[in-house]
Amino acid sequence: MPAAGSDLNTLFPLIEFFADLHNPTAASTKNILLVVSADKEIAGFIGETMSETGCETLSAENADDGLTIYRKVKPSVIIVDIDSIGLSFIEALQISDMDKASVAALATLARIGDMEQYFNAGVSAFLWKPLNRAELKGFLSYSLGQIRLLKERSNVFRVLASSITDAFMIVDKDFNILFWNKEAEKVFLFKAAEVIGQSLLTSIVEEKYHHTLAKYIGHITKNIDYMSNRNIYVLARDKQQREIFCKINMTPLEIRGTVLAVIAFKDATDLHARQELTMLKGLIENLDIGFVVGDPEGTIIYANSCVNKLLCLGPAPIAGKNARDIFPVLSDLYVPEHLIRLEKYSTDLTLKFSADDVHHIRLKCDTVLNGSGNISNVFITCEDISDLLESRTHGNLPDDEALRHTKELTEQNERLQIELSRRNSIEDRMGTTVKDLNMLLKEVHHRVKNNLQIISSLISLQSDTINDDYLLNIFKDTKTRIRAMALIHDKLYKSTNMSKLNFAEYIQDLLAELYSTYEHYISGVALKVDIDPDLDIDIDIAIPCGLIINELMTNSIKYAFPERQDGVIEVSFARREDGKYFFSVGDNGVGCPACIDFKTFKSLGLQLVNDLITRKLKGTIDIDTTNGTIYHMEFYGQKQEGR
């Protein structure tokens, strides 16, 4: 059920708005025009005109029939003869900002006050009698164009949603689910149809996390610019009530005046396991009992410091050594063909290090089986029982109390071995998961690069139909920005390091593409690049720096050399030992005014540069116009952000 307090009049249009994204077939149906008029001649005239456009026309002679057709076929365009039908029919349609239908009122005349009523009820345009074919076709062309644009945007969203390998959903301020992607179906086992309109909180999220999620969704629905870098961890349950420990991220999304939240879920079970494993290792390290884990061949994988203390082995770790060398009493038992004999094995040892230094040690062993039933590990514990034996010798400790104490230690040891066996299994699973995650990450970079390339290709195709030079330049600049980002994802996909990028190699490829795109501007201009060929930087720095260099290089190429005379464009990038980055982009061309104010200058490129440097990278930018134009920028890397 929807969350308590939800406004159903708002919720249902939102659900309907996202419906096409879950049902691509429905989104591609034929455009239908509905004419509601008691005048058959008007309906016939509109139907005849619309047949020339390939649009199917349905008609109704009264409001009741019109509502029936509307609810059944959901037409793209509705023309209502208000002289014979009136306002009540349009109000009954309950057209909201979320509806895809376009409604026109057909009238002989109307007062301004009446027109306002119709606009408030959902009318988007007025047509006047007597009808004009050109006006009617123009209205239909515009309306269908708007609907087609909305469908194209929906298609882009659907492609991107299917490419994302995280489970994500879109919810309103009350956590009612409006969109649920395919990955969410795989993770939580709920089909989209089962959860759309239901509350995310009651469907999958444990109750103790509801307050935290409500706090953050309150922030983003009140402030569309609110962004939180804090990781939020919640415990979720799938359809079969299995627990999934998740890390989530919320991002605001505004749809026609309504602020929604996009929530991405990442399975953080491995992180949870690592935290528990770290805590367990800390517990073992502080035990007064020596603890050793060995493999089937006898090699010691782990040993706590108490083992060194009990056996007087010194401070050097014994991991990597053979257990038979450390415990000679196990020489005949700790061999692959006799490992089964170590199960529940126990013996007492007397170790004499000097005349006054004698240790009485109780040694216990046990085995751990893997999923195939084979022995995967051997656990060895050693405990100093000198005080126990001394107490027995002097009669200070009754035998029954000694047995009770021994039994407690034995039970504690068995529980510890079971827990360590479980943790060992988790570590094995984590190793496989890390490899899978690396493969998935490469696939994400590959898909993002492909999607950006598709968008770039669409822009190229669209620009072929444009004859206006100003618009062509806008399309070309947009294409270079997209290619600058796509190139980074292509480099990361081909790299063995998923988090860092060879910046010199990337910039060389980026500049080559820019020169190829704008070669008619700079036939005689030389390029000078000064970047350390071994400089690797984080992707969070590479993307904004790549966009900045793309913008400033484009400016130099297009405007610095109007006569195409000889000149030089320079790019330099360096990082100091303290983590501070310096880079500059400039030319010796005609120059620009020294008093440029990035905040007021009407250039999208320079505004983008200023925003990336000052807001994204928290850096500064200066302009030197002494000889041409040179932009000097500096900022700290991520480790210095708190400075």
Which of the given ranges, 145-159, 267-281, 574-588, has the highest pLDDT on average? Answer: 574-588
The pLDDT of residue 635 is 92
Identity of residue 420:
L
Residue 23 confidence (pLDDT) = 54
Q: Residue 302's closest CA among 381, 372, 374? A: 381
Q: How far apart are CA 410 and CA 415, in angstroms?
A: 9
What pLDDT sits at residue 640? 43
User: Is the pLDDT score of 634 beyond 90?
Assistant: yes
Please indicate whether residue 575 or residue 398 has the higher confidence score (pLDDT).
575
pLDDT digits (tens, 9 = 90+) for 511-545: 887 777 777 666 678 888 898 888 888 878 888 88
Q: Determine the average pLDDT of the residues in 554-575.
A: 83
Tell me the average pLDDT of the chain.
77
pTM of the complete model = 0.35
Over range 438-464, report the average pLDDT.
67
* Model pLDDT for residues 319-378, shown as the tens digit of each residue: 888 888 888 888 888 888 878 888 888 888 888 777 677 778 889 998 888 767 788 888
DSSP notation for 93-125? HT--TT---EEEEEES---HHHHHHHHHHT--E
Least confident of 287-291, 320-324, 406-410: 406-410
580-587: strand order across its sheet: 525-531, 567-575, 580-587, 629-636, 620-624
Instruction: Give me the helix-helix angle, 604-611 and 539-559, nearest 10°.
Output: 150
Residue 639 has pLDDT above 50, yes or no: no
In this predicted structure, the answer to whether residue 229 has a pLDDT above a threshold of 60 is no
Q: Judge contact between 293 and 300, C-beta under 8 A.
A: yes
For the ranges 5-9, 214-218, 374-378, 419-423, the lowest mean pLDDT is seen at: 5-9
Helix axes 399-463, 133-163, angle to 10 degrees: 150
Assign 572 a pLDDT band (cuts: 50, 70, 90): very high
pLDDT bin (cut points 50, 70, 90) of residue 633 is: very high
Least confident of 37-46, 264-273, 316-325: 264-273
Least confident of 456-465, 558-567, 584-593: 456-465
Preceding omega of 130 cis (within 30 degrees of 0): yes
What's the full length of the chain, in residues? 643
Residue 11 is predicted with a pLDDT of: 47
Backbone angles phi, psi at 106, to 5 degrees: -100, 125
**Mean pLDDT, residues 78-91 taken together:** 85
3-state secondary structure of 621: strand
Per-residue HEC secondary structure of 456-510 comes to HHHHHHHHCCCCCHHHHHHHHHHHHHHHHHHHHHHHHHHCCCCCEEEHHHHHHHH
156 pLDDT band (50/70/90 cuts)?
low
Average pLDDT over residues 600-624: 84
Confidence bin at 294 (pLDDT 50/70/90): confident
The whole-number average pLDDT for the span 618-623 is 90
The whole-number pLDDT of residue 358 equals 79
At residue 609's C-alpha, the angle toward residues 487 and 573, to 5°, is: 65
Domains and CATH numbers, the chain: 31-160 (3.40.50.2300), 166-267 (3.30.450.20), 273-431 (3.30.450.20), 499-640 (3.30.565.10)
What band does 163 get if pLDDT is binned at 50, 70 and 90? low
Place 641 in a pLDDT band, splitting at 50, 70 and 90. very low
What is the SS3 assignment for 79? strand
